[in-house]
């Protein structure tokens, strides 16, 4: 071996040893291909006299192939590990290449949750207990206990999703009425009212557009005691909504139909001035939610005697309130997961 060749060989053997040590320390083994130990040799090649280049270039290429082989071998080990496809990044990504997880300080609450919590706070201060609904329920709670027997035409207004074994993604928070009436029936015996707010997610089989979503939130109220009248219903909703909008609001009810209330109403509030477009009477009022006096059959289904107790209930969508409050033009933004949308509220 010529002296020059000997020198090159020694240089590259040394480099190979250095590279091996560097490789052991790297999380991302591919980074070794960008190591200064290698790139330095490449630069060195360019400075060599013409006659030495070919030999050095070949030896350097051999070294590069060898190093690439090490990387491949290490990747094979990595490939054998299972991948969690639900992780926000490939869990096998080496630590120094993982995207940083969203730090809590950069996040913010979803505008819908902020408003929901605000509504819950107001109702809680008014004496309402808070109960969550459920995301899957049965025919009895969704319909039967609410006075929609099988085949009742009003069931068509609550077209939602069903599992093959007959469970239902609830189309309204009223699906909780029977449960909360039973759970709090003891209040009546001790001379206290049943007062419960049920805010939660509901589902409908809708054609989607700017005002219709398949998934949205409702807030349901249930109130039962001796001697409760429509007057109590109006006053309670008026107080709740005036508090929510931060201004005294006129309210009115107009007749409607729900199987679970008798009589049933649509509750309208005076449109906050900032949201009025014209001066017509029709433009003055905003129909916000459905409500009524709880049907005697609904009370009976929960074991409450309608001859002794009466009550009212309501149910309305939260998105509508939030859209009005912030001038949001499309309900689909809420469930879109778009950061551009959410950042406007952070
Ligand atoms: N569940 C009704 C709906 O989603 C709203 C509703 C109306 C709820 C009257 C009630 C009520 O509790 O009494 O359309």
Q: What is the DSSP string of 84-144?
A: -TTSSS-TTS-GGGSPPP--GGG----HHHHHHHHHHHHHHHTT-EE----SSB-HHHHTG
- Judging by DSSP bridges, how do beta strands 215-225 and 310-317 pair with one another? antiparallel
Q: Looking at the predicted structure, is the pLDDT value of residue 86 above 80?
A: no
Phi, psi of 255 (to 5 degrees): -60, 145
For the chain, count helices (H), then strands (E).
13, 7
Alpha-helix runs per DSSP H in 247-295: 281-284
Closest atom of ligand 1 relative to the 316 alpha carbon = 5
Six token digits for residue 167 = 């469970």
- Judging by DSSP bridges, how do beta strands 261-270 and 251-256 pair with one another? antiparallel
pLDDT in tens, 242-253: 999 888 888 999
Residue 200 Cβ contacting ligand 1 at under 6 Å: no
User: Do residues 32 and 67 touch, judged by C-beta distance below 8 A?
Assistant: yes
User: Do residues 250 and 270 touch, judged by C-beta distance below 8 A?
Assistant: yes
Q: Does domain 111-343 have CATH number 3.90.1150.10?
A: no
- Average confidence score pLDDT of the chain: 89
Q: What is the dihedral of CA 187, 177, 316, 139, to 10 degrees?
A: 170
Q: Looking at the predicted structure, is the pLDDT value of residue 79 above 60?
A: no
* Distance in angstroms (rounded) separating the CA atoms of residues 137 and 238: 31
In the reported structure, the alpha carbon of residue 65 is separated from the centroid of ligand 1 by a whole-number distance in angstroms of 71
* Distance in angstroms (rounded) separating the CA atoms of residues 202 and 105: 30
Strand partners, 222: 196, 313
Q: What is the CA radius of gyration of the chain?
A: 34
Residue 111 Cβ contacting ligand 1 at under 6 Å: no
Closest atom of ligand 1 relative to the 315 alpha carbon = 8
User: Do residues 315 and 173 touch, judged by C-beta distance below 8 A?
Assistant: yes
Query: What pLDDT is stored for residue 275 in this prediction?
Result: 67
Closest atom of ligand 1 relative to the 202 alpha carbon = 4
Q: Looking at the predicted structure, is the pLDDT value of residue 296 above 80?
A: yes
Q: Looking at the predicted structure, is the pLDDT value of residue 21 above 80?
A: yes
Lowest mean pLDDT among 99-103, 226-230, 267-271: 99-103
The CA–CA distances, whole Å, from 172 to 5, 96, 153, 159 equal: 83, 47, 17, 10
In the reported structure, the alpha carbon of residue 209 is separated from the centroid of ligand 1 by a whole-number distance in angstroms of 22
Work out the widest C-alpha separation in the chain, in whole angstroms: 113
The secondary structure of residue 260, as a DSSP letter, is T
- Residue percentage of the chain with pLDDT more than 90: 57
Residue 220 Cβ contacting ligand 1 at under 6 Å: yes
> Residue 53: in which H helix or E strand, if any?
helix 50-79
pLDDT in tens, 117-139: 999 999 999 999 999 999 999 99
Query: What pLDDT is stored for residue 102 in this prediction?
Result: 59
Six token digits for residue 290 = 């459905």
Q: Looking at the predicted structure, is the pLDDT value of residue 270 above 60?
A: yes
Strand partners, 317: 218
Query: What pLDDT is stored for residue 101 in this prediction?
Result: 63
Query: What pLDDT is stored for residue 83 in this prediction?
Result: 67
Six token digits for residue 70 = 């090490």
Residue 290 Cβ contacting ligand 1 at under 6 Å: yes
Closest atom of ligand 1 relative to the 157 alpha carbon = 14
Question: Residue written as tokens 């207990």?
Answer: 129
- 3-state helix, strand, coil split of the chain in percent (to 5) is 50, 20, 35
* Distance in angstroms (rounded) separating the CA atoms of residues 228 and 311: 6
Cis before 263? omega within 30: yes
Q: How confident is the model at residue 99 (pLDDT cuts 50, 70, 90)?
A: low
Q: How confident is the model at residue 103 (pLDDT cuts 50, 70, 90)?
A: low
Predicted TM-score (pTM) of this structure = 0.71
Query: What pLDDT is stored for residue 78 in this prediction?
Result: 57
Q: Looking at the predicted structure, is the pLDDT value of residue 282 above 80?
A: no
Q: How confident is the model at residue 284 (pLDDT cuts 50, 70, 90)?
A: confident
Lowest mean pLDDT among 19-33, 76-90, 145-159, 257-271: 76-90
- The sheet carrying 129-130 orders its strands as 129-130, 194-203, 215-225, 310-317, 285-294, 261-270, 251-256
Lowest mean pLDDT among 7-11, 220-224, 226-230: 7-11
Q: Looking at the predicted structure, is the pLDDT value of residue 283 above 80?
A: no
Q: Which residue has the higher pLDDT, 156 or 271?
A: 156
Mean pLDDT of 31-53: 87
Choose among 270, 271, 251, 253: nearest CA to 261. Answer: 253
The residue ranges of every structural domain in the chain are 3-97, 111-343
């Amino acid at each position: 071996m010529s002296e020059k060749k000997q020198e090159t060989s020694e240089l590259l053997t040394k480099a190979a040893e250095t590279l091996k040590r560097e490789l052991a320390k790297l999380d991302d083994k591919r980074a070794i291909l960008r190591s200064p130990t290698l790139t330095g040799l490449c630069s060195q090649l360019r400075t060599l006299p013409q006659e030495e280049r070919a030999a050095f270039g070949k030896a350097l290429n051999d070294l590069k192939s060898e190093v690439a082989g090490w990387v491949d071998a290490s990747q094979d080990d990595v490939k054998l590990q299972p991948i969690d496809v639900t992780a926000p990044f490939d869990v096998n990504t080496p630590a120094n290449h993982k995207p940083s997880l969203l730090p809590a300080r950069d996040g913010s609450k979803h505008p819908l949750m902020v408003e929901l919590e605000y509504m819950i706070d107001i109702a809680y201060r008014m004496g309402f207990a808070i109960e969550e609904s459920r995301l899957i329920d049965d025919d009895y709670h969704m319909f039967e206990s609410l006075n929609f027997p099988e085949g009742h035409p009003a069931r068509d207004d609550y077209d939602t999703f069903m599992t093959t074994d007959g469970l239902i993604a609830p189309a309204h928070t009223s699906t909780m009425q029977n449960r909360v009436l039973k759970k709090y029936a003891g209040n009546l015996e001790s001379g206290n009212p049943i007062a419960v707010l049920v805010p939660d997610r509901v589902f409908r089989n809708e054609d989607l557009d700017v005002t219709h979503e398949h998934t949205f939130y409702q807030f349901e109220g249930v109130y039962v005691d001796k001697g409760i009248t429509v007057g109590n219903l109006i006053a309670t909703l008026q107080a709740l909504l005036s508090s929510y909008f931060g201004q005294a609001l006129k309210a009115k009810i107009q007749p409607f139909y729900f199987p679970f209330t008798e009589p049933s109403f649509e509750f309208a509030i005076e449109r906050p001035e900032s949201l009025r477009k014209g001066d017509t009477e029709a433009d003055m009022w905003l129909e916000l939610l459905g409500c009524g006096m709880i049907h005697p059959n609904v009370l009976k289904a929960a074991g409450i005697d309608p001859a002794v107790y009466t009550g009212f209930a309501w149910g309305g969508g939260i998105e509508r309130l939030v859209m009005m409050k912030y001038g949001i033009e499309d309900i689909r933004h809420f469930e879109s997961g778009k950061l551009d949308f959410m950042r406007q509220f952070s």
